[in-house]
Amino acid sequence: MYEKYFGFKTLPFRITPDPRFLYENPSCREAMASLCYGIEGRKGFIVITGEPGTGKTRLVKDFMQRASVVIRTAFIPTPKLTSTELLGFVLNDLGIVTTTQDRGVLTLQLKDYLIEQFEKRHIVALLVDEAQQLSNELLEELRLLSNLETNEDKLIQIVLLGQPELETRLDQPDLRQLKQRVALHCSLAPLKDDEVNLYMLARLKTAGFEEKMLFEPKAVEKIALYSKGIPRLINVICDNALITCYASSKKVVSADFVEEVARDLKLVDGPPKKQSSVADQSETEGKRRIIDQTRQSTLLQAPPAEFPEISNMTRQRREPIQRQRRLGSLALGFVCGVLATFGVGASLYSQSTKDYFSQIAARIWEETHLREPVKTAAVEPGAVLDYSAKDLNDAQPRDSAKPPSSLQEPQASQESGVEANAAPIIEASKTGPATAGEEKHRVKNDSKKNEETIRAATKGTASEKSASDRLEFDIHRAIAKHAIKGVEVSVIDGTVFLGGRVDTENKKIAAAKAASNVPGVRYIRDRIIVNSDVTS
């Protein structure tokens, strides 16, 4: 994760037993010398002990990698085996194919192999890790294997690696015969305070670090204090300190970073220090999030039996993260369900609401026009009435029962091939009924006036004509919504001329009222003729 940031070729503080990172301090060199001497000298039993994390497994793997070609090794990492399983495991690791589970047959196969290798002047070594957990039965089986020998040398060399409890086990009376056969005892001690810095520098150099300083001197002192010189704990502290340094965008690990890591790993007593400000607290929380994400894969690889505190801490931190993920999944599912329900309800609601409001508008219109009719003054037959939009605000038709909110499309009020503004406008005399000659003369004069008016209107600009046509269309549509037929409309200079014939006086007034409600109408000249007046 942070290799490129610090310039590493590989992670320098892994806790896996990589032989490349073997640090040979005096204690390690002594153990390695005892191991080589005991195996190459065919001494039989060799015991190497040390605290957890002091490098016993790394020491053995380094020996197996450096061993001469004449040395054949078998490594047993786990002691939880039976006597038969132990023999089968050893034979398989030495490259011998086994076809039976009979303990006697397996013992004979191993003896034949050891004699064969002895004649070739080869050495066979059996290395058992975590030997303090071996049962008495297995320890006795190993003692019996050590009895395979010639008159001069042992045919198999057995190395027991374990914690200091192994020495206590060998002091038991039941195992005194095995203890007497141990030719070499060696112990791996923790690093001294002045060796911790050398150990860290050696690992950084192996990882490819070329800068002058990565850890402050005080930070190294804190690492030596909290790790107590155990290499595995040094690796854990350094790895987490580098993660914290990387999260803080720093290039040098300070003592504060080491103290923070030690508190997280439960290596120091006492409560953590209080943050000095809100900004420091938020910065620390940001670091913790990055550290938590990386520790799950890089923090703990040691067996839980050797390092239970760190294992429990990791388990406690993973549980809230898993709980948050489950709650997030449930919340996402709930939101998706609500959105889907809302979408279906909205589509149903929009249609039902539309029908509901249409019904309410129709009822309001019916109540207004059926219960509150407007009394209009009697109009003489054939009279010409002029209205303004203000004069027609209170005019209402009395015989129309269809609401203005009807969704029917307006009917065309013009006959094919006849323009509305070209229709004859019949103007009756206000003094009384006219004779047939006077009526004919008046119609002829009105036709001439209309033609002159139309010609004057056509001289306007194209934009004015377009506006007039649009206004005529809107008036036709407004009148058609009241189911009034026979009305002819023409617009000249903003003045609306209404002509044609209707059945009743109420329709005439209703047509004028509908025209006055159209936006853009300033003045209305009503020349609509009521059919009843003409017939009378």
Give the mean pLDDT of 356-380: 49
Mean pLDDT: which of 160-164, 297-301, 468-472 is highest? 160-164
Least confident segment among 92-96, 280-284, 286-290, 390-394: 390-394
Q: For residue 350, what pLDDT is reported?
A: 54
Establish if 34 belongs to a structural domain: yes
Q: Are residues 523 and 389 in the same domain?
A: yes
DSSP tag of 272:
P
Q: How high is the pLDDT of residue 36?
A: 92
In-domain check, residue 360: no
State the pLDDT at residue 418.
35
Domain count of the fold of the chain: 3
- Of 58-67, 133-142, 252-261, 344-353, least confident by mean pLDDT is 344-353
**Residue 312 falls inside a structural domain:** no
Q: Which pLDDT score is estimated for 504?
A: 87
- Domain assignment present for residue 35? The answer is yes
CA distance 501 to 30: 128
Q: Note down the domain range covering 298.
A: 193-306
pLDDT at 429: 37
Q: Is residue 46 part of a domain?
A: yes
Q: Where among 306, 333, 361 does a domain terminate?
A: 306
pLDDT for 519 beyond 90:
no
Question: pLDDT > 70: what percent of the chain?
Answer: 66
Res 441: pLDDT = 58
CATH number at residue 225: 1.10.8
Whether 269 is in a domain gets the answer yes
Tell me the C-alpha distance between 489 and 498, whole Å. 5
Note the pLDDT of residue 124: 94
| Residue 152 domain flag | yes
Residue with the larger pLDDT of the pair 323 and 300: 323
Clarify whether residues 126 and 265 are in a common domain. no
Mean pLDDT value across residues 50-69: 89
Q: What is the mean pLDDT of the chain?
A: 75
**Residue 80 pLDDT grade (very low, low, confident, very high; cuts 50, 70, 90):** confident
Return all residues near 242 (Cβ < 8 A) that are at least 6 apart: 2, 6, 13, 253
**Overall average pLDDT of the 505-532 stretch:** 84
433 and 524 housed in the same domain: yes
Predicted local confidence at residue 439, as pLDDT: 53
- Please state, for a pLDDT cut of 90, what percent of the chain lies above it: 25
pLDDT at residue 440, as a whole number = 54
Please state whether beta strands 123-128 and 71-76 pair in parallel, antiparallel, or not at all (unpaired).
parallel
Q: Please check whether residue 311 lies inside any domain of the structure.
A: no
From 162, 188, 214, the end of a domain falls on 188
Is 237 in the same domain as 160? no
Is there a single domain that holds both residue 90 and residue 151? yes
Of the segments 136-140, 414-418, 431-435, 461-465, which one has the largest average pLDDT value? Answer: 136-140
Give pLDDT, residue 159.
94
51 and 150 assigned to the same domain:
yes
Q: Is pLDDT of 34 > 50?
A: yes
Query: Burial code of 11-50, b = ≥16 C-beta within 10 A, e = fewer?
Result: bbbbbebeeebbbebebbeebbebbeebbeebbbbbbbbb
Which of the two residues, 462 and 207, has the higher pLDDT score? 207
Contact (CB, 8 A) for 19 and 61: yes
The pLDDT of residue 253 is 92
pLDDT in tens, 437-490: 555 556 556 656 656 655 655 555 556 667 888 888 888 888 887 878 788 888
End position of a domain, from candidates 282, 306, 330: 306
Q: Are residues 76 and 179 in the same domain?
A: yes
| 165 and 208 share one domain | no
Residue 312: band (very low, low, confident or very high) from pLDDT cuts 50, 70, 90 = low
